[in-house]
Amino acid sequence: MEIILIRHGEPEENREDLEDLQRHLTEQGKEKMQKLMPELKERLEPFDERTIVLWSSPAERAIETAQIVADELQTQINSIHDFIYEGDFEPMSHEVQKVNDHATLLMVGHQPNLSEWTKYMTGEDVEIGKGDMLNFKVTKQSPLEAELQWEITND
């Protein structure tokens, strides 16, 4: 199994009148994510031989990012999970065990959670910028362990 952690694109600024979950991507954030999609699709070749599973945090900016990914990969968002927003590794790890071993699981989430999950799975400290994507090969299901294979950065 492969896991690809994707940090959402550039969001609206924090405002007192806007709940964090309701913050959307900026137009620039959408454009930058769309520019990364050809590289993601290329990394997933041969694409027609893959089972894609796409999860998102319930935050609007993550759902919008996941929809950009879904549109490019001609798939849909399969699940929206609170544990992605909350950064709760244990329920995430438990849900991953239910996914087909041959699937490529993409999860759209947030910092610092994605870096913390990377540390749990690999032992590596990795800073994940807005729009960055990290691919892991799962080496052990329980506890969840993985090796970092590649990354796409939103420079």
The pLDDT profile of the chain, 155 residues, written as one tens digit per residue, is: 999 999 999 999 888 888 889 899 999 999 999 999 999 999 999 877 899 999 999 999 999 999 999 999 999 999 999 999 999 999 999 999 999 999 999 999 999 999 999 999 999 999 999 999 999 999 999 899 999 999 999 87
Of 126, 122, 124, nearest to 136 (Cα)? 122
- Please name every residue paired with 145 in a beta bridge, in sequence order, or none if there are none: 140
**What's residue 47's pLDDT?**
77
**What's residue 109's pLDDT?**
98
**What's residue 155's pLDDT?**
75
**What's residue 46's pLDDT?**
86
**What's residue 2's pLDDT?**
97
Rounded Cα–Cα distance for residues 71 and 65 (Å): 10
Q: In the structure encoding, which two tokens stand for residue 95, read together? A: 């849900």
**What's residue 58's pLDDT?**
98
pTM for the model stands at 0.96
- 19 phi-psi bin (left φ>0, alpha ψ -120 to 50, beta other): beta
**What's residue 48's pLDDT?**
79
Rounded Cα–Cα distance for residues 37 and 39 (Å): 5
Query: Hey, is 112 helix, strand or coil?
Result: coil
**What's residue 73's pLDDT?**
95
